[in-house]
Amino acid sequence: MPVADDIQSSWADEVEIDQGALPPPSEVVENGLKIVTEYKYDNDNKKVKIVRTYKIEKRVVSKSIAKRKTWSKFGDSASDKPGPNPATTNVSEDVFMQFITSKEESQRTDDGDLDGLKPQTSSVIYKCRTCQGEHWTLSCPFKNSDVVMAKANEAAKAAETKTPATTNKYIAPNMREGAKPRSCEPPGPRRDDIAAIRISNLSNFAVEADLDDLVRGFGPVQKLYLAKEKSTGQCKGFAYVHFKFKADAAKAIQILNGYGYDHLILNVEWSKPPQNN
């Protein structure tokens, strides 16, 4: 049988025996890995050993990031070693962003620096309007010469004598060639609102038949309009009557204005100011 002194105890037994403070954390670097060991109490108030393994990598960063890493730590992390402390820092994955200025630039194939050495598609960047030369029109040496002036006059005459080309663009009838100009005068006799009157202060229960009986005796009527509410269908209190003759409309205004109808006093007037024929 093995002797009791020869049995090795586990680290948990050693921590339980030691009723003092928690052991300090330790770090071991080997084979490109950093192993961090630390101790803490769990929810059941038991001591727990935590081992974290990190892979050591070397990266090339910008000068601003390298300078920021040399800053001294402060506060609760003043005594921490270089690098993030898992107890106070949550390290997440690196997210690299690529900024694209335009859609064309993102879809363009990367040909390197050879694009600047390629010749341009067109050798002529600007052209003179006077002599069609490869220089600015303002600096043309022939802009005040007689030859250029003669060419300009010939081009103007040719543009005047040239017949207009036929196109499929729509042209209004009054703007076509040979069309008579339209008169801008309002067609006064043709309007049907000259003999129209407006009757207001009608009862809410009035209908078209009551309005027809009211104005039938003054002359032939072309149109009747009784304003009604959309929700209830009741009269809004006014109506329009279009007579065939203006004299009949004037007679209706003279008689019905101030006339008592259905316990109300009617107000009758022209729907629009009459025009002098």
Domains of the chain, CATH where assigned: 20-88 (no CATH), 194-268 (3.30.70.330)
Please state, rounded to an integer, the average pLDDT across all residues of the chain: 77
Mean pLDDT of 12-28: 69
Distance separating alpha carbons of residues 54 and 33, to the nearest angstrom: 6
The structure's pTM equals 0.33
Q: What DSSP string describes 122-155?
A: -S-----TTT--SS-STT-TTTTSHHHHHHHHHH
Mean pLDDT of 210-215: 89
Q: Above 70 in pLDDT, residue 122?
A: no
- 106-110, 118-122, 192-196, 221-225, range with the lowest pLDDT: 118-122
At 198-207, the pLDDT tens digits run 999 998 888 8
pLDDT band of 238, cuts 50, 70, 90: very high
Distance separating alpha carbons of residues 210 and 202, to the nearest angstrom: 10
